[in-house]
Amino acid sequence: MFGYVKPRPDDLLVKEYAFYRAAYCGVCRAMRRETGFFSSLTLSYDIVFLAVCRMLLTDRHTCAKKCRCIAHPCRAKSCLTENEALTFAARVSAVLSYEKCLDDKKDKGGHKLRALLALPSLRRASRRARLPFLARETEECLSELAVLEEQNTPSIDAPAAVFGDLLGLCFAEGLEGEEHALFYEVGYHLGMFIYAADAADDYRADKKSGSYNPYVLLYPDGKGFDDGIPDEVKTSLRLSLVKLGEAIEKLPFKGDASLENIIKNTVYLGLPDRIDLLGKPKNKKQEKLYGGKHDRSL
């Protein structure tokens, strides 16, 4: 997962944004430690959001230290350590990246070549993740998506629901009872939004290449996609965020203001900001602020 699920930094307290950045570095280091250096190259803001959400279930006694890495060899940065949510997110990311790579291997062109080159390293990372049940569920969901794509399904809801199910399973992995239900609901509605948003963002590219995209089938004349996306698509995306907002309000924040503010900032401010940029060319400042392209298939 790449790029959409990021907070709006200007509306976080300084200490909250510092915590978020330390969590990002913490997930990266956890990926290198748990599933290998190559897996850390797949790090995304979406996985960091998963880690922050799952921190609600830990004892929340997080530790931070100054760390250096290949990306920042000269300047040490704060990095969260000793947190099981970071380890969990790293392992989930390895599974998703490997299963996505297997799916890309079936494609033609550049995606297939990149998948073939990355496959051995991602296979090792997935094995080290030790999440066989999630791996099977991920494979099944991606197979369902592939069938819908082969059938040229003219519906955004059907494939988005499958992707939502996949993220719901990721968020709820290893949980039981009420906790499983709460975190599955968050992941499900987030996945629905991500799939639909990315399909809208990719409209022109997919129409040109002939790739499957529900919106290309629903809007064959391209009306509303000349500079951005149609208003009705924006409205639909905002409605999906309403459901996501209802889901996060049920999470067990337990008075942890920093985690609560980061999560709510992401859902109520960061994701709506992305809607306004969909389908438009982004300058360097926007790319830095909101992240890179997201691939809805993982």
Region class of 223: left (phi > 0), else alpha (psi between -120 and 50), else beta: beta
Backbone angles phi, psi at 50, to 5 degrees: -60, -45
pLDDT value of position 108: 60
For residues 190 and 5, give the distance between their C-alpha atoms in angstroms, rounded to a whole number: 9
Q: What is the DSSP letter of 199?
A: H
In contact, 48 and 259? CB cutoff 8 Å: no
CB–CB of 267/241 below 8 Å? yes
pLDDT value at residue 283: 55
pTM, whole model, 2 decimals?
0.91
Instruction: Please state whether 42 falls in left (phi above 0), alpha (psi between -120 and 50) or beta.
Output: alpha
Cα–Cα dist 9/192, whole Å: 24
Distance of CA 123 to the CA centre of its chain: 20
pLDDT at 1: 42
For 296, the token pair is 């809805």
* pLDDT number for residue 59: 67
Q: Are strands 77-81 and 63-67 parallel, antiparallel or unpaired?
A: antiparallel
Dihedrals φ, ψ of 78, to 5°? -65, 140
Cα R_g (the chain), whole angstroms: 18
The predicted pLDDT at position 191 comes to 97
Burial of 123 (0-12, 13-18, 19+ CB in 10 A): middle
pLDDT in tens, the chain (298 residues): 457 899 999 999 999 999 999 999 999 999 999 999 988 999 999 999 999 999 999 866 578 888 887 777 778 888 998 789 999 999 999 999 998 888 777 766 556 777 778 888 888 899 999 999 999 999 999 999 999 999 999 999 999 999 999 999 999 999 999 999 999 999 999 999 999 999 999 999 999 989 899 999 999 999 889 888 999 999 999 999 999 999 999 999 988 899 999 999 999 999 999 999 998 876 555 555 445 444 433 4
Q: Look at residue 65 and give its three-state secondary structure.
A: strand
Which among 102, 105, 107 is positioned nearest to 123, based on CA atoms?
Answer: 102
The residue assigned the tokens 């009420």 is 178
Q: 6 is written with which tokens?
A: 């990021």
Residues 6+ apart with CB under 8 A from 46: 1, 2, 3, 4, 5, 194, 294
Helix (H) or strand (E) holding 64: strand 63-67
Q: What does the pLDDT read at residue 8? A: 97
How many Å apart are CA 44 and CA 48, to the nearest integer?
7
Domains and CATH numbers, the chain: 9-290 (1.10.600.10)
